[in-house]
């Protein structure tokens, strides 16, 4: 059963005459109530917008607190304390979501801010009937963290959630009301800011009211570049995603100028795409970081000549060598994405996260919301993989006020300045593969929205060595062929794609069937 709370609330905003940005703000706040795994006001995200032909990108990513420093997660022997950037108050960056939504509203809102927050407040105040999968996730999280001796206050707030029972969140409702009344300052100054600082002081965290006062969401130039007859409008740094997707798509194009384009999801396709993935992730580790702190060579990394050079040494039949590095930990993951197109043709692609499911596991006392554990997206130590197995170095080292590198890639693809596709996904580093492959599925292989969102996907991120993560659904012959080539297969689904495709009959929306989202289209067809 999909969760329909946010899709319905967003649709009601559109029905009230709101635009795609209005609807996105409502969806974001509803998710903060009904999807505590990833929806948030204690986290951050990115919003890609095409509005009246203008391309915008809103960075509301968390940033390191002022007291953070590059070695803050190392022990006396210089080893990474792997739990600290993932659980507890010290794992949190300064949240960006409320600042982001406020900034989007200031720029593009047509309905009152109070109206946009009302559905979330009602769901927190009056409660919502808990879907079975949420109750299940909560129970598993509590069991797992307690078995491992991980200390959080999560169970105090979510421990009595029960499937099919109403769950009310009065503290969260009060916080949302405060934000409804005071906008940006309802979170970054006054009561809520003090609650966060007090909570940090009591629990060994770093965020202060000064950090909150200093936080600003930032408008950035989206990455906008050509691929085939399309324009990709996607996430620039501090996301690695846009550069990575652009590289992946264009290196495949470059490869296909000298080789036959492999058939969709054939062994050759998975191999060539994996070879490209290795190159993409090698660049990610070396060059990508917060552009306000490091020089990211975006132009060089997305230069057509560079695509051609990098693709030129792909061997169509053999795996290229990689030098060994330890693999990352593997646990559950959570982020969430939504895609919206309004009747004027404006589009929003928004990915938002607390990082892992339920973030740091810490609920701000008195304020009722979970805080992120986004600090793990920094490189705690050069060469040591984070939770998602991503390796980084200097470019993504921790520094006060710096934004941690992300893989979130909310993307809009245009053809002749009209929206052709809106896509995005959760899934840590696998987001990059999900976005790349849904673009290829929909626009290169011309699949419809449902097929594009549900065709089996795969992911190769250089490390662990020669390992391809594969969805269920590939035929056994394909998988065997890859194993014979020397690949190790990691058979686990990833993502939860939400996409909208423009085709000859109009807009189609699709939510990946194995996930929890809901696709809705008004006055058109949903497939």
Show binding-site residues for L-glutamate.
61, 353-355, 377, 406-407, 428
* Sole binder of ligand DON in the list 62, 63, 334, 342 (CB under 6 A): 334
Q: Does 428 bind ligand DON (CB under 6 A)?
A: yes
Q: Write the binding mask 356 to 385 for ligand DON: x where contact by CB under 6 A, - elsewhere.
A: ------------------x--x--------
User: From CA 443, how far away is CA 240, in angstroms rounded?
Assistant: 22
Q: Does 461 bind ligand DON (CB under 6 A)?
A: no
Q: Does 426 bind ligand DON (CB under 6 A)?
A: yes
Closer residue to ligand DON in complex, CB, 357/452: 357
Of 284-292, 426-434, 451-459, 469-477, the window that binds ligand DON (rule: CB under 6 A) is: 426-434
User: From CA 334, how far away is CA 331, in angstroms rounded?
Assistant: 10
Q: Does 423 bind ligand DON (CB under 6 A)?
A: no
Chain position carrying tokens 């509301």: 60
Q: Write the binding mask 112 to 151 for ligand DON: x where contact by CB under 6 A, - elsewhere.
A: ----------------------------------------
DSSP letter at 234 equals E
Bridge partner residues of 129 (DSSP): 166
Of 132-140, 146-154, 330-338, 483-491, the window that binds ligand DON (rule: CB under 6 A) is: 330-338
Closer residue to ligand DON in complex, CB, 180/239: 239
Site for ligand DON in 300-329 (CB under 6 A): none
State the number of CA atoms in the 13 A half-sphere of 480 facing the CB. Answer: 3
Q: Is 335 one of the annotated active-site residues of the chain? A: yes
Least distance between ligand DON and beta carbon 390 (Å): 8
Handedness of CA 428, 4, 123, 343 (dihedral sign): positive
Q: Does 427 bind ligand DON (CB under 6 A)?
A: yes
Q: Are 432 and 241 in contact (CB under 8 A)?
A: yes
* Residues contacting residue 363 through CB under 8 Å, at least 6 positions apart: 153, 154, 156, 157, 158, 369, 370, 371
User: From CA 5, how far away is CA 126, in angstroms rounded?
Assistant: 13
Of 78-86, 117-125, 139-147, 402-410, the window that binds ligand DON (rule: CB under 6 A) is: 402-410
* Sole binder of ligand DON in the list 180, 349, 407, 411 (CB under 6 A): 407
Least distance between ligand DON and beta carbon 131 (Å): 18
User: From CA 253, how far away is CA 276, in angstroms rounded?
Assistant: 11
Least distance between ligand DON and beta carbon 296 (Å): 16
Least distance between ligand DON and beta carbon 38 (Å): 7
* Sole binder of ligand DON in the list 208, 224, 250, 353 (CB under 6 A): 353
Cα–Cα separations (whole angstroms), residue 388 to 86, 297, 356, 377, 522: 12, 24, 10, 9, 37
Retrieve residue 450's tokens: 């449902």
Least distance between ligand DON and beta carbon 240 (Å): 8
Helices (H), 48-149: 97-108, 113-125, 132-147
Q: Does 355 bind ligand DON (CB under 6 A)?
A: yes
What 3-state DSSP class applies to 231? strand
DSSP letter at 141 equals H
Least distance between ligand DON and beta carbon 409 (Å): 9
Q: Does 436 bind ligand DON (CB under 6 A)?
A: no
Q: Does 406 bind ligand DON (CB under 6 A)?
A: yes
Residue 53 zone, left/alpha/beta (φ > 0; ψ -120 to 50; rest): left
Q: Which of 26, 34, 152, 335 is catalytic?
A: 335
Measure CA 24 to chain center.
15
State the number of CA atoms in the 13 A half-sphere of 83 facing the CB. Answer: 9
Closer residue to ligand DON in complex, CB, 447/461: 461
* Sole binder of ligand DON in the list 35, 408, 439, 455 (CB under 6 A): 408
User: From CA 29, how far away is CA 258, in angstroms rounded?
Assistant: 48
Q: Are 392 and 281 in contact (CB under 8 A)?
A: no
Closer residue to ligand DON in complex, CB, 32/507: 32
Q: Does 434 bind ligand DON (CB under 6 A)?
A: no
Q: Does 335 bind ligand DON (CB under 6 A)?
A: yes
Q: Are 494 and 459 in contact (CB under 8 A)?
A: yes
Torsion of CA 492, 498, 501, 506, to 10 degrees: 130
User: From CA 349, how far away is CA 404, in angstroms rounded?
Assistant: 20
Closer residue to ligand DON in complex, CB, 19/40: 40
Torsion of CA 84, 85, 88, 93, to 10 degrees: 150
| Other beta carbons within 10 Å of 416 | 8
Residues contacting ligand DON: total by CB under 6 A: 14
Closer residue to ligand DON in complex, CB, 119/428: 428
Q: Are 10 and 521 in contact (CB under 8 A)?
A: no
Of 207-215, 261-269, 406-414, 464-472, the window that binds ligand DON (rule: CB under 6 A) is: 406-414
Q: Cite the active site residues.
A: 335
Q: Which residues contribute to the site for ligand DON (CB under 6 A)? A: 333-335, 353, 355, 374, 377, 406-408, 426-428, 431
């Amino acid at each position: 059963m999909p969760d329909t709370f946010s899709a319905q609330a967003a649709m009601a905003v559109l029905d009230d005459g709101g635009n795609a940005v209005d609807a996105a703000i409502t969806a974001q706040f509803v998710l903060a109530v009904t999807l505590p795994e990833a929806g948030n006001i204690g986290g951050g995200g990115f919003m890609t917008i095409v509005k009246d032909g203008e391309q915008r990108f809103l960075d509301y990513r968390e940033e390191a607190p002022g007291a953070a420093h590059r070695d803050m997660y190392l022990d006396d022997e210089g080893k990474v304390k792997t739990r600290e950037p993932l659980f507890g108050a010290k794992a949190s960056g300064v949240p960006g979501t409320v600042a982001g939504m406020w900034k989007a509203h200031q720029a593009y809102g047509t309905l009152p801010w109070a109206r946009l927050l009302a559905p979330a407040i009602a769901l927190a105040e009056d409660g919502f009937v808990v879907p079975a999968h949420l109750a299940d996730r909560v129970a598993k999280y509590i069991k797992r963290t307690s078995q491992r001796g991980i200390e959080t206050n999560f169970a105090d707030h979510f421990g009595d959630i029960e499937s099919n029972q109403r769950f009310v969140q009065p503290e969260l409702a009060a916080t949302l009301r405060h934000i409804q009344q005071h906008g940006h300052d309802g979170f970054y100054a006054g009561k809520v800011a003090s609650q966060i600082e007090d909570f940090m002081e009591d629990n060994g965290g770093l965020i202060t009211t000064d950090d909150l006062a200093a936080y600003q969401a930032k408008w950035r130039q989206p990455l906008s570049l050509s691929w085939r007859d399309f324009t990709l409008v996607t996430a620039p740094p501090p996301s690695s995603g846009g550069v990575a997707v652009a590289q992946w798509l264009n290196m495949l194009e470059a490869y296909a100028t000298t080789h036959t384009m492999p058939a969709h999801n054939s062994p050759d396709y998975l191999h060539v795409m994996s070879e490209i993935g290795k190159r993409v992730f090698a660049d990610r580790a070396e060059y990508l970081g917060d552009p306000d702190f490091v020089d990211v060579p975006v132009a060089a990394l997305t230069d057509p000549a560079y695509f051609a050079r990098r693709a030129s040494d792909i061997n169509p039949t053999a795996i290229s060598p990689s030098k060994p590095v330890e693999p990352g930990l593997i646990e559950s993951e959570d982020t969430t994405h939504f895609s919206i197109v309004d009747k004027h043709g404006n589009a929003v692609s928004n990915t938002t996260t607390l990082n892992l499911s339920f973030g740091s596991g810490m609920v701000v006392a008195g304020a009722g919301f979970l805080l992120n554990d986004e600090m793990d997206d920094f490189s705690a130590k050069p060469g040591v993989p984070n939770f998602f197995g991503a390796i980084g170095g200097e470019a993504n080292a921790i520094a006060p006020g710096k934004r941690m590198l992300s893989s979130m890639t909310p993307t809009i693809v245009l053809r002749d300045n009209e929206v052709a596709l809106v896509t995005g996904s959760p899934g840590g580093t696998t987001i990059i593969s999900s976005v790349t492959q849904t673009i290829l599925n929909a626009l290169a292989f011309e699949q419809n929205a449902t097929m594009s969102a549900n065709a089996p996907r795969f992911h190769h991120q250089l490390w662990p060595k020669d390992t391809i993560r594969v969805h269920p659904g590939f035929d056994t012959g394909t998988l065997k062929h890859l194993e014979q080539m020397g690949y190790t297969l990691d058979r686990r689904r990833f993502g939860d794609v939400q996409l909208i495709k423009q085709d000859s009959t109009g807009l189609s929306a699709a939510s990946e069937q194995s996930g929890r989202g809901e696709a809705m289209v008004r006055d058109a067809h949903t497939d």
